[in-house]
């Protein structure tokens, strides 16, 4: 298979709910994550739900970084999809994990491309 891109899909449990409900902090976080991944930012859009929750999307020339939050459950879903060889999506992931401080994580990487296959990378239980 020729891998054209890496797609990291992460489920984060036990996150800091104050960050999960703050679109300004999340925008700064995803922009910084994109910068750490050496990606080129093309645009961004963040939406605050009422009464709580945020959906955010940073468009990068290599694809995207997105987050969807449920502060009432201290949960969020993150996608980091990058194409090409120059970006480092796991650096973006590491930054977001350090900021959101989840107690449990389920994460996988999918090689995107021709005849790509799902390949689980890590499943972590950080705190009990």
Instruction: Let me know: does 79 contact 91? Beta carbons within 8 Å.
Output: no
Instruction: From the candidates 7, 15, 64, 83, give the one annotated as an active-site residue.
Output: 83
Q: Note if 63 is an active site residue.
A: yes
Instruction: From the candidates 68, 103, 106, 116, give the one annotated as an active-site residue.
Output: 68
Judged by DSSP in three states, 108 sits in strand
- Using CA atoms, how far residue 110 sits from 49, 56, 117, 127, 128, in Å, is 29, 21, 7, 26, 28
Helix ranges (H only) for the chain are 17-20, 23-36, 89-100
Burial of 128 from C-beta contacts in 10 A (0-12 / 13-18 / 19+): exposed
Q: Note if 83 is an active site residue.
A: yes
Instruction: Let me know: does 31 contact 41? Beta carbons within 8 Å.
Output: yes
Instruction: From the candidates 7, 63, 64, 76, give the one annotated as an active-site residue.
Output: 63
| Residues marked as catalytic | 63, 68, 83
């Amino acid at each position: 298979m020729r891998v054209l891109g890496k797609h990291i899909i992460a489920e984060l449990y036990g996150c800091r709910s104050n960050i999960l409900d703050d679109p300004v902090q999340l925008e700064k976080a995803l922009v910084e994550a994109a910068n750490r991944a050496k990606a080129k930012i093309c645009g961004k859009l963040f939406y605050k739900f009422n009464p709580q929750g945020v959906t955010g999307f940073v468009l990068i020339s290599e694809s995207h970084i997105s987050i969807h939050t449920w502060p009432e459950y201290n949960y969020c879903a993150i996608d980091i999809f990058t194409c090409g060889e120059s970006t480092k999506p796991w650096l973006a992931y590491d930054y977001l994990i350090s900021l959101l401080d989840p107690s449990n994580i389920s994460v996988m990487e999918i090689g995107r491309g021709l005849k790509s296959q799902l390949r689980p990378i890590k499943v972590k239980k950080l705190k009990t």
